[in-house]
Amino acid sequence: MRVLVVEDDDNLRIALEAALRASGLAVDACADLLGADLALSVNGYDCVVFDRMLPDGDTLPYVAARRQAGWAVPVLFLTARDSLADRVDGLRHGGGDYLVKPFAMVELVARVRSLGRRTVVRPPSVLRYADVELDNGRAEVRRDGVLLTVTRKELLVLERLMTEPERPVSRLELIRYAWDEMADPVSNVLDVVVGQLRRKLRQPPLIHTVRGVGYRISAVE
C-alpha cells in the first residue's frame, strides 16, 4: 500500500512518515498543495493524508475539486477542528475519514490501512503474460505452472512490468512503485532485484533492458 502525507508541520510529517513506514507502508510526503499536485501527477496512491490547513490553502476545496474531476483515492483529513460541523464538512468535501489532533499514531495507521482497502482502482488480482502468472492475493508467481520463490520487492517489480506488458517502464516508475520517494534512483537496488528475477524466471528470457529508459517484459527480444 502506498500513502501520500501532506503536512506542513515538519515534526509531525516526519513522525507520520516513520509510523507508516514502520507498519510496512510505502510513504511519500510533502508540505503543501503544490507538492501534492506534483506527487499526484506522477504516482498512484492507495490513500492520501491531508492536513486540513496548509500554507497555500484549505485542503477541503482542493479535494472536492479533484473529486468532481473523477479522482477516487481515499482521503484522511487531519485537523485541530473538532466540532461536528467541521467533521461533517470534511466528509461532504470528499474525505473518507477525519482525525482530530492530537491523535495516537496507532489509530492513524489503522485508519489509513482501512481507507487504503477501499481504493477503487487496483491491479487485477491475477496477472498473466506468456507462461507467467502473478497472483496478488496469494503473493505467488508461477512460470509454466511451477511456483517460484520471490521476495516482496521482486513481486512488485514484476507486477509493474506485467501491468503493461511489452511497454518500456522507466527505472523511476519501477522504483516509485516498489519502494518510495526515499529510494535513491541512481542506486543499483533495482538492477539487483531485476537480476534476481531474471534468474528465477529462467529461460527463455522475458525481462529485457531498454537502454536509457528501464525495463520491459516481452516474449520477444
| Each residue's pLDDT tens digit, 133-185 | 999 778 899 999 999 999 989 998 999 899 888 888 888 778 877 875 455 55
130 and 112 belong to one structural domain: no
Residue 172 placed within a domain: yes
Residue type, 173: E
Question: Structure pTM?
Answer: 0.56
Give the angle subtended at the CA of 220 by the CAs of 156 and 196, to the nearest 5°.
35
Kindly give, in sequence order, each residue whose CB lies less than 8 Å from that of residue 184, ignoring residues fewer than 6 positions away.
Answer: none
Mean pLDDT across the chain, nearest whole number?
86
Please count the structural domains in the chain. Answer: 2
Single residue among 116, 151, 176 that ends a domain in this structure: 116
Residues 201 and 173 in one domain: yes
The answer to whether residues 111 and 188 belong to one domain is no
Q: What per-residue confidence (pLDDT) applies to 184?
A: 55
For 114-118, 154-158, 199-203, which range has the lowest pLDDT when averaged over its residues?
114-118
Q: What is the band of 121 on the pLDDT scale with cuts at 50, 70, 90?
A: very low
Position 97 scores a pLDDT of: 87
117 or 180: whose pLDDT is higher?
Answer: 117
Per-residue pLDDT at 108: 94
Could you tell me which of 56, 62, 120, 54 has the C-alpha nearest to residue 93? Answer: 62
Among candidate residues 96, 116, 136, the one where a domain is terminated? 116
- Average pLDDT of the segment spanning 23-49: 90
Any idea what the CATH number is for the domain that residue 99 is in? 3.40.50.2300
Q: Which domain holds residue 149?
A: 126-217
Q: Which amino acid is at 39?
A: A
Bigger pLDDT: 121 or 49? 49
**Is 121 within a domain?**
no
pLDDT at 126: 86
What is the total residue count of the chain?
221
Residue 68 pLDDT: 81
Please check whether residues 22 and 61 belong to one and the same domain. yes
- Mean pLDDT, to the nearest integer, of 75-96? 80
CATH of the domain at 203: 1.10.10.10
Q: Has residue 75 got a pLDDT over 80?
A: yes
- Is residue 162 assigned to a domain? yes
What would the mean pLDDT of 74-87 be, rounded to a whole number? 82
